[in-house]
Structure 1
Amino acid sequence: MTEEEKARTATIFDVARLAGVSHQTVSRVLNDMPNVRPATRLRVENAIKQLRYVPSPAARAMVTRRSRTIGLITTGSADFGPGSTALHFNETARDARYAVITAGLLEADAANVRAAAELLVRQNVEAIVLIVQQRSAVEGLGGFDLGVPVVAIASEDRGPAHRVWLDQYGGARAAVDHLVSLGHRDIRHIAGPLESMDASERTRGWFGALAAHGLVSREPLVGDWTPASGYAHGRTIAADGATAVFVANDQMALGLMRALAEAGLTVPEDVSVVGFDDIPEAEYFSPPLTTVRQDFVRLGREAMESVLAVLGENAATDKAAGGTELVVRESTAPPRTASAHLAARVDPSEVRRSTNVP
């Protein structure tokens, strides 16, 4: 690379990497601020000379004024949960008089998340929020000093970010407890992708509930959140004798129910089905789907509250945004082999059950 190319392409992040400091430290040196150690200042100045870096007006403004702008990183997925969370995060940010710049990613791997975060920081955001399910995306920011706080909506404690989450584990436990209460003993699970933190917590809840009731678990069937993957696994389940299935999301439950119908099995008479998320279509499935409802409105609002906290406007803390709620509909019933007295114990007026985060 020629010297002219260096000057043309070098960024504040290149200077920071060469000097071994954060971009905020580079900004302090550029703005001749006093709170930089002499040795650090010298390293930065040498890196600036070596790269022939010319600071932009935006770079000079990073530490001298507030932008009241938040960066939001999401995946390219059209899933109901992340989309709803992002919508209510944006509404809460607007109410707090903040603008939101969104970076949507088709692939939320570590490299893409880092690149998106750098791009957002260059636009002078005050904080970054992650709505991604892949644990590698959150872990990818570990050891990477952006100079701005990061808030992750994540059901596992990963990476350096502040965290907001919903109780995926408790929701899964409630779903399986419901099936056990109906008399089911062979309860299969169609899980979400292995890299998904939410999917892992739901699988852990399924395992935990079966163990608590002294029931044997079979290997989970791993899907990809789509109805097609639920359908594919449904063809397997239709032949294996299970009387109930806990599915990690409602879309896969839809595919499962189609496969069971094609195999000549009825829901819930032959197989009971419980989903997760309570998408708007769930109550219009045939039969209406028993599922675990998540409060995405509250999750989006709590994410923005956490941003305000880390920016010093509220008390900062990682927090659970609430429990999940089991909504009982017509896709679950006692198995055909259940005794009459067990079936009689099920309250037909039951509509929903809540789980609370301890």
Structure 2
Amino acid sequence: MPPSGNRSTPVIKDVAQLAGVSVPTVSRYLNGTAKVSTEKREKIAQAIKLLDYKPSFVARALANKVMDSVTMLTSLSTYWATTEVNSGAEHAARDHGFLFGVTSLDGISDDEIESTINRVLSANPAGLIISESDELVIQLLHQIPKDIPLVLIGGSRGDAPYQVIPSEREGGRVITEYLFGLGHRNVVHVHRREGPNNNTRTLGWRDAMTDAGIQAMEAYQVGTDLSESVELGRKLAQDEDLTAIFAGNDETAISLIKGLRDEGVRVPEDVSVAGYNDQIFAKMWDPALTSYSQNFVELGRQAFEMLYAQIEAKRSGEEPPEPECRVVEGELIVRDSTAAPGRRG
């Protein structure tokens, strides 16, 4: 049946007429605001297909009072890991017909938190994903109204009812234990500033040291300026007892390697170096970098899926899903930058 009147573009009234249901029923089907019987759903779906009906995003938003969109609030927005997480969430959102937006928290002060949240909420998103990286994000969590579907990425277990975390602590432990397995005993850890939580790579390094009965020395903290890590590599090259370094990210690892080489220390013949995150350049480095691969894309995808389940429950008037903390596991990737202790061992 063609659209009623002289219109060439079908509207919701045409779908209702062809499916033999009311316009509000089609609206409920499209918006997911209430249950529609299986029989009616099938008729509506068939009518939409036959008419090639394209629902109006804006009209649905007005009817729903929220947009079919989600917003990611994140700091460290320029980091590779952040873009990978965002990519996973965006693709999952697209699969469900949702728009996905990112609001950067980089550079905002404590005084700007409330105004930032108000601007985000003024767009009436169906839900929020918050990516934790510092104390500011945890503070922001407490500013979000309780009735808005929300998922936290990262943080300590229990920071939010719905949470997806990477295996940071486990990864730190796995890399350190791997180096122990090669025969190293003096494994130095170098890291950047980590979030205020109990799921960090440094804690995993300490766990492995404790389990091995080794007194953990103080870890070295460096900034994002890679020249700082190069200089630390030169300094560590003077330690004749050093045989292995676990760097908290791949950029730090290759910078340390440069510093070691500047002082004539070979990798891995003299000192083994392992990184973290397994960025695309890790396997292209010389030597190819041993690293711990975190599935950041999957982290983002699961965060959206967890959020979508809350959104659907809210729209259908059902009870929300049970609170959950999912852990996305990573994988140790062994390459050429690590080996058994050499002359220093």
Fold match (TM-score > 0.5): yes
1:234: Cα distance to partner? 1.5
In the aligned structure 1, how far is the partner of 2:112 from the partner of 2:169? 28
CA contact (8 A) 1:133 1:197 kept: no
In the aligned structure 1, how far is the partner of 2:149 from the partner of 2:300? 17
1:305: Cα distance to partner? 0.7
Higher relative contact order (CA 8 A, sep 6+): 2
1:126: Cα distance to partner? 1.6
* Pair 246,264 (structure 1): closer, same or farther in 2 beyond 3 Å: same
CA contact (8 A) 2:157 2:325 kept: no
AA aligned opposite 1:229:
E
AA aligned opposite 2:66:
R
Identity value in percent: 25
CA contact (8 A) 1:151 1:164 kept: yes
Does residue 318 of structure 1 match 2:317? Answer: no
AA aligned opposite 1:214:
G
Q: Which residue of 1 aligns with 2:116?
A: 116
1:112: Cα distance to partner? 4.5
Q: Which residue of 2 aligns with 1:219?
A: 218
In the aligned structure 1, how far is the partner of 2:110 from the partner of 2:129? 15
Q: Which residue of 1 aligns with 2:227?
A: 228
* Pair 338,156 (structure 1): closer, same or farther in 2 beyond 3 Å: same
Does residue 137 of structure 1 match 2:137? Answer: yes
AA aligned opposite 2:205:
W
Question: Counterparts in 2 of 1:66-77, with a 5 A limit?
Answer: 66-77=66-77
The TM-score, its normalising length taken from structure 1, stands at: 0.71
Q: Which residue of 1 aligns with 2:336?
A: 330
Structure 1 residues not aligned, in runs of 5+:
1-57, 340-358
- Which string of whole-angstrom CA distances, capped at 9 and with x for unpartnered residues, describes residues 190-217 of structure 1? 022044659x610000000011011122
* Pair 312,328 (structure 1): closer, same or farther in 2 beyond 3 Å: same
Q: Which residue of 2 aligns with 1:28?
A: none
CA contact (8 A) 1:139 1:158 kept: no
CA contact (8 A) 2:270 2:344 kept: no
- Which string of whole-angstrom CA distances, capped at 9 and with x for unpartnered residues, describes residues 149-185 of structure 1? 3211114236446211111111111100110011101
1:246: Cα distance to partner? 0.6
Three-state SS of the structure 2 residue aligned to 1:276 is coil
Q: Which residue of 2 aligns with 1:169?
A: 169
1:306: Cα distance to partner? 1.1
AA aligned opposite 2:87:
L
CA contact (8 A) 2:150 2:162 kept: yes
* Pair 205,225 (structure 1): closer, same or farther in 2 beyond 3 Å: farther
CA contact (8 A) 1:152 1:163 kept: yes
Q: Which residue of 1 aligns with 2:253?
A: 253
In the aligned structure 2, how far is the partner of 1:112 from the partner of 1:91? 30
Q: Which residue of 1 aligns with 2:21?
A: none
* Pair 196,230 (structure 1): closer, same or farther in 2 beyond 3 Å: farther
CA contact (8 A) 1:189 1:220 kept: yes
Q: Which residue of 2 aligns with 1:209?
A: 208
CA contact (8 A) 1:121 1:146 kept: no
- Which string of whole-angstrom CA distances, capped at 9 and with x for unpartnered residues, describes residues 250-269 of structure 1? 01111111111101101011
- Which string of whole-angstrom CA distances, capped at 9 and with x for unpartnered residues, describes residues 199-248 of structure 1? x6100000000110111221111123453332232222122231101111
Q: CA RMSD in A?
A: 2.5
**How many aligned positions are there?**
279
In the aligned structure 1, how far is the partner of 2:337 from the partner of 2:272? 6
The TM-score, its normalising length taken from structure 2, stands at: 0.74
Q: Which residue of 1 aligns with 2:82?
A: 82
Range that drifts further, 106-115 or 87-96: 106-115
Structure 2 residues not aligned, in runs of 5+:
1-57, 314-319
